[in-house]
A and B are shown apart, each in its own frame.
Chain A
Amino acid sequence: MILSKRGASLIAPAASIGVFILLWGIISLNVSAEFLPSPLAVVKEALRLLHANIGGTSLWGHIGWSLRRVLIAFFLAILLGLPLGLYMGWNRVCEKIVSPIFEVLRPIPPIAWIPIAILWLGVAEGSKIFICFVGAFVIMILNAYTGMRYVDPLLIDAAKSFGANRTQQFFNVAVPACMPSIFAGVQNALSMAWMCVLAAEMVGARQGVGFIIIQGMDLNKPAMILVGMVLIGIIGSLLAATLRQAEKLLCPWRRELV
């Protein structure tokens, strides 16, 4: 019984993916390759792109450009957003000062910053990093702030009665207590930055994974777009998996919730 269940849980996913690819193949036979290329054509295109020159840069070069933008913005967002969010949650005066401005800017999607970022920083690297930064920064602040506000007051009181001063309460009790919320924020921030870099590169760039799929659209090559999409999905998953590993190392007590 258990064995057959395990067998089913292995066969069913394979079967469903298989049927999907089969259906895709059948449909692609009946429409033009300009509309939907066959699965085989997509694999061939992927192999071709591995060594091809796409708009002056190799495939790996494009990936490198995108990762560079994302990671710079991501670390800047952590560096600035984390302390600010934590301090907003800790100190009411700081919260009162920052929150009205933050509340006006928060609901604006980072993608809506693209036009003004281009006016401010040009179409070069600056505007793209800025957009990813905005996306990651807002999430970092929100998570750090919320985590800090939900720290169990009992923990702070306990620290107080053991004679901890304000700084010790903050660094030794409050900050570790909101680690899970911070880590959730770090993960969301990275995936948001990844989405933003894509949007920024699609609006105007000569390098990056977003450029690959826009190039595919301009050249009317759906196989190239599909390869780009799969690539984007894989890199996004790898980034998320890396962070999950980091979280397991840095806050092991959260393991059961992952």
Chain B
Amino acid sequence: MRDPIGSERAAASEALSLEIEKANYFATAARENWISFVSFALFLIFWELICRFEIVGPYQLVPPSEVVTLFIDKFSNANPDGALLYQHAAASLGLALAGFLAAVVIGVPLGLFMGWYPAVNMTARPLFDAIRPIPPIAWIPIAILWLGIGTPAKAFIIFLAAFVPCVINSYTGIRLTNPVLIRVARIYGASNWETFVKIGIPSAIPMIFTGMKLSLNAAWTTLVAAELLAASMGLGYLIQLGRRLARPDIIIVGMLTIGFLGALMSWLLTRIEARFASSRRLT
């Protein structure tokens, strides 16, 4: 502290050495990428071989080459499940996104208000805490009883699944607002509402995005569960049908599509976050 310039220099050199370490790490990482390729190729060959030599039966596992063939075939052949792969995917995506968006629109403001206004917190929190430990999947039977096995029941379940992380994270985000910023706003004469909108909400945005990512994940998982139990369309239905027909190729194509779409959606949300949160970051 006696020598501010010196300590600054030390910090700068430390940052530099960290950069160098990172650069080194990635350089070696790129050089070692062949290990990954070899490992993945070996995995596929092993998988192909245990099927070809019938170490596992055709009703348990099919070789990857047949999975790829079926995947291509499912874009033009509606049998045996009555729809093309992208139609199943579109049905699932539509439902998941509808439930997710509804949860964001309702859950994020609720969390923010709970975090900012103690009165809202005291009223909404007990109910929320009572509902929170029940996994969204446990709502499926009652939702079917209330709303039938159609779209509304599924949308309701997905909404519930996505709602909880949205509320928790926006609540936490706004509670973690730097109190110094709030005091500064107050000193400059901002009203409580202005402070909430201009200081509280922007500083909660990173946490809100974390919540949205968790929500999306929960929505997608829960959708699969709902479609396993009651559906006539969608990726969950596709894999459930694959089980009934003892067709592992259908199941594997469905699982990989589910995984790929889930990963794609989180990736998109991360891109949106990077663009949106960086322009208005408060430190």
Contact = CB atoms under 8 A, between A and B. Distances in A.
Binding site of B, secondary structure by majority: helix, strand, loop or mixed?
helix
A15 to B, nearest CB: 8
A222 B143 CA distance: 10
Interface stretch (A68-76, A92-100, A164-172): A92-100
B255 A112 contact: yes
Nearest to B28: A92
Contacts of A229: 134, 138-139, 142
B141 interface: yes
A96 B240 contact: no
Nearest to A99: B36
Contacts of B40: 100-101
Nearest to B236: A112
13 contacts: A12-B122, A16-B122, A16-B124, A16-B126, A16-B127, A35-B145, A92-B29, A100-B39, A101-B43, A115-B228, A116-B248, A119-B60, A195-B135
A104 B259 contact: yes
Interface in B125-154: 125-127, 130, 133-135, 137-142, 144-146
Nearest to B247: A119
A16 B71 CA distance: 52
Given A92-B28, A101-B39, A107-B260, A222 B142 contact: yes
B71 to A, nearest CB: 14
Contact of A203 (B228, B263, B266): B228
B137 A107 contact: no
B225 A199 contact: yes
Contacts of A232: 134-135, 138
Nearest to A34: B145
A225 B235 CA distance: 27
Interface string B168-201: 0000000000000000000000000000000000
Given A16-B126, A107-B260, 15 more contacts: A12-B122, A92-B32, A93-B35, A100-B43, A104-B259, A111-B224, A112-B259, A114-B228, A119-B246, A119-B251, A153-B21, A198-B137, A199-B228, A229-B138, A233-B134
B221 interface: yes
A202 B59 contact: no
Interface in B224-278: 224-225, 228-229, 235-236, 239-240, 242-243, 246, 248, 251-252, 254-256, 258-260, 262-263, 266
User: Interface centre among B33, B60, B135, B242, by most A CB within 10 Å?
Assistant: B135
Chain A interface size band reads 35 or more
A155 interface: no
Binding site of A, secondary structure by majority: helix, strand, loop or mixed?
helix
A116 B259 contact: no
Nearest to A118: B243
A236 interface: yes
User: Interface centre among A35, A107, A114, A236, by most B CB within 10 Å?
Assistant: A107
B214 to A, nearest CB: 11
A112 B138 contact: no
B220 interface: yes
Interface in B100-123: 119, 122-123
Interface string B44-83: 0000000000000001110000000000000000000000
B21 A214 contact: no
A36 B134 CA distance: 18
A107 B259 contact: yes
Contacts of A113: 255
Given A96-B32, A96-B35, A118-B243, A220 B138 contact: no
B225 A111 contact: yes
B127 A217 contact: no
Interface in B209-223: 220-221
Interface in A219-258: 220, 222, 225-226, 228-230, 232-234, 236-237, 240
A80 interface: no
A17 interface: yes
A101 B36 CA distance: 9
Contact of B122 (A9, A93, A114): A9
Nearest to B235: A112
Contact of B138 (A12, A14, A114, A213): A213
Nearest to B262: A107
Contacts of A14: 126
